[in-house]
Structure 1
Amino acid sequence: MEQNYFISKDKSLLKLEKIQQFIANSYWGNGRTLDEVKLTIENSYCFGIYTPENEQIGFARVVTDYIYFGYFMDVIILDKFQGKGYGKILVKAMLEDTTIKKLKTLALKTKDAHLLYERFGFNKIGDSPLWMSVDKQILD
């Protein structure tokens, strides 16, 4: 089967306007401006997923200290590409990334994608309906 996507961490490939439009209409980023999206991207470790023709399929970013902690944010698949498995592909690629694999704790918040993240080892945190994490750090 021919691979119909590629994943890149090259921020110059990101289609900022498409990302902003999606996030600004989401429950977590309602009203986020283009300038705000640009600033979050500048200050995050980012992933883009694209068609072979460089059309943006999805986007995700991680806020991290590059040693202990990473917070998955703005994990999106643009509307016309939803339901085709790209979310799973993107999250798997993020978790297999050498920088992310080294982190001791990963966290995220989601209102509606718990099943997606559970398949990758994320667990709910306490009684929170939103918070999930993967904790690889052994505490004595």
Structure 2
Amino acid sequence: MFEISTDPARLDVGTVHRWLSTDAYWARGRSPDAVARSVEHSLNFGAYAPDGTQIGYARVVTDHATFAWLCDVYVPPEARGEGIGVALVEAVRDHLAPLGLKRVVLVTGDAHGLYARVGFRPLPNPEQWMVLGTA
């Protein structure tokens, strides 16, 4: 079994950096400073094995009032298939629910089924969304 916590003191930021910068297609090459700053300014979710080892991560950028962006959901290859990713996303959903946010969004290139199981669906009007910077 595993535990999910939002306690930032439990995060192994070095491990999160290694995971994201070397294995996550959306974050390859991300600097240690960028990971540290993103952790510092986000709501973080860590998944932990019974021995306390971190076995998953998810991050939320939010104003706690109207909007949240779920990002950097990561489970290392050796821990995949055990329900950790779904549990992380469910924990995020459940943690944010009392805030009454109008919208929680994410971007994924390969995990649509995982997010759909937790209630995410495609944007109803993607043509209304725009981006500044690289896509």
Which structure shows the bigger proportion of residues in helix conformation?
A: 2
Aligned-partner SS, 2:106: strand
Give, as a single letter, the amino acid of the residue that structure 2 aligns with 1:59.
Y
* Equivalent residue, structure 2, for 1:135: none
* Equivalent residue, structure 2, for 1:12: 9
Give the whole-Å Cα distance in 1 for the aligned partners of 2:51 and 2:81: 20
Listed as ranges, the gaps of 5+ residues in structure 1 are 132-140
Q: Pick from 105, 113, 116 the counterpart of residue 115 of structure 1.
A: 113
Aligned-partner SS, 1:49: strand
- Whether 1:22 aligns to 2:19 is yes
TM-score by length of 2: 0.86
Aligned-partner SS, 2:45: strand
* Equivalent residue, structure 2, for 1:137: none
Q: Pick from 65, 68, 90 the counterpart of residue 67 of structure 1.
A: 65
- Structure of greater relative contact order (alpha carbons < 8 Å, 6+ residues apart): 2
Give the whole-Å Cα distance in 2 for the aligned partners of 1:21 and 1:127: 35
After TM superposition, the structure 1 = structure 2 runs for residues 98-113 of structure 1, keeping only pairs within 5 Å, are 100-101=96-97, 102=99, 103-113=101-111
Q: Pick from 87, 93, 96 the counterpart of residue 94 of structure 2.
A: 96
Listed as ranges, the gaps of 5+ residues in structure 2 are 130-135
Give, as a single letter, the amino acid of the residue that structure 2 aligns with 1:34.
P
Deviation by residue 1:58-99 (Cα, 9 ceiling, x = unmatched)? 0111000101100001001122111111111111111111xx
Aligned-partner SS, 1:95: helix
Give, as a single letter, the amino acid of the residue that structure 1 aligns with 2:31.
T
Give the whole-Å Cα distance in 1 for the aligned partners of 2:45 and 2:122: 24
After TM superposition, the structure 1 = structure 2 runs for residues 38-57 of structure 1, keeping only pairs within 5 Å, are 38-57=36-55
Aligned-partner SS, 1:12: helix
- The offset of 1:126, in angstroms, is 5.5
Give, as a single letter, the amino acid of the residue that structure 1 aligns with 2:9.
S
